Structure 1
Amino acid sequence: MLMTERDFGRKSVFMRVSERALSEHIAHVATALSQIAMAFPEMHAEFSVHVRCIRLFDGAVTMGFTDERMFGAMLLRIPVSHIEPVSYYIEHIVHEASHIHLNALMAVGKIILNDPGERFVSPIRPDPRPMLGVFHATYVTSRIVQALLKLLRWTKNENLLPSLAEAADELIRGYLEISRYGTFTEYGASLIRELRDQIAGLTLLPEWRDFDFDTPRQHRYGSWKSNVAKLKEQLESAQPA
């Protein structure tokens, strides 16, 4: 379940989308899926296998969720007016579809061996989470990074860089937490190595050379300040001496 830091602790609100808004947002979702298919065909193919329905809702706090008890379905809140809708839906579709994919992997075999009662720092939520939650958050963030990177290469639109930087920072923070405290099966360890290799590849992106890491920005969800300090630190540590 995805919510903003500002909304943590508040009660979720779910409301029906008006008919006028529904038709508008269905079109935005279709455009988002089309762009995913063009830029990230592997994700779109996976989506086509796993996802059977998207339900849109209006409301507050929760932006999207799925659950293994309703496998194949995702619920997405329509974005507030100041957020560009297609980019919003691309990220949230990838986010929830990745949860669904990871749930499928976990149904096949165990990945995490940590005690469910232990709590750790999540890269995308302010409350301490079990390792299962931290791993889920880090895994889906890694896929958002992949999607944004593929969109950047496909469109050459450098306006995607702030969102990519934020997501990459979240990925790095999640990876550091799970690599430090996680206990995994052999298959789980292979997924951690994939995250490590993805982070190493991110440091090679030439666009970072001209990216301003120090200018304050609003987070892409619009409710708190952007945080890219870990990404900047990672890039600096990767520079040759």
Structure 2
Amino acid sequence: MSALLPELMAWLAAATRVVRPLAGAGQVMRSSHDQDILGLVSADLHGSTAQTIELLVHETAHLHLRAAEAAHALVVPTHQGRYRSPLRPEPRPLGGVLLAYHALAYICAAYREMLAAGLADIEQVGAELDDLTARLTDVRDVIGEAAPYFTDAGREFLNRTAEVADHATK
């Protein structure tokens, strides 16, 4: 896969060092990361290539965001606002919405790259990509409305994420 998606693989390897397979093969694909063990991602690995890459990208995006947060606050620390999220029914803190935006941008970009590399076809991932792209556009609007509550480091992080989101939605 490194030969087909070298940029994606380099981005994954920059934050994810160990992938621990989850036991059991349920109908819902699962993944997580441990905030106390940097670089560790747990994921179901029994799905399709596209599903496995999505899980790894999702968790790796969270690891990248956590690393950025460890270096500098991304959201003004005193900000207590709650915002609509495309992934949860209840209003979320701005940091949670940022987490969703960042992950969605990278997941959508990964799907586009998989399609371009022939690792998936539009019939396999089309509906999922359409849904995720709509959610990405939705959360991007929410992030835009909350712009005053990001720190300088947060705005830099948003700018990099926006570049990925632009690539993902072209």
TM over 0.5: yes
Corresponding position: 1:171 with 2:143: no
The residue type equivalent to 2:30 in the other structure is M
Cα separation, partners in 2 of 1:195 and 1:107, compared to 1, 3 Å = closer
Structure with larger RCO (C-alpha < 8 A, sep 6+): 2
Shift of 1:116: 5.8
SS in 1 for 2:82: coil
In 2, the alpha carbon distance for the partners of 1:50 and 1:194 equals 16
Shift of 1:186: 2.1
In 2, the alpha carbon distance for the partners of 1:151 and 1:107 equals 31
In 2, the alpha carbon distance for the partners of 1:173 and 1:65 equals 24
Corresponding position: 1:101 with 2:64: yes
* Selected match of 2:151 from 181, 185, 203: 185
The residue type equivalent to 2:97 in the other structure is V
The answer to whether the 8 A contact 2:62-2:99 is kept is: yes
Alignment correspondent of 1:137: 100
The answer to whether the 8 A contact 1:51-1:72 is kept is: yes
The answer to whether the 8 A contact 2:85-2:97 is kept is: yes
The residue type equivalent to 1:75 in the other structure is S
**TM-score, normalisation: structure 2:** 0.80
Shift of 1:70: 1.9
Corresponding position: 1:64 with 2:31: yes
The answer to whether the 8 A contact 1:114-1:131 is kept is: no
Shift of 1:78: 5.4
The residue type equivalent to 1:190 in the other structure is E
Shift of 1:99: 0.7
The residue type equivalent to 2:154 in the other structure is G
What percent of counterpart residues are identical? 24
Report the RMSD for the aligned CA atoms in angstroms.
2.7
* Structure 2 spans left out of the alignment, 5+ residues: none
* Structure 1 spans left out of the alignment, 5+ residues: 1-33, 205-241
Q: What is the aligned residue count? A: 165
In 1, the alpha carbon distance for the partners of 2:90 and 2:31 equals 17
Shift of 1:93: 0.4
Alignment correspondent of 2:121: 157
Cα separation, partners in 2 of 1:172 and 1:148, compared to 1, 3 Å = same
Shift of 1:43: 2.6
SS in 2 for 1:55: strand
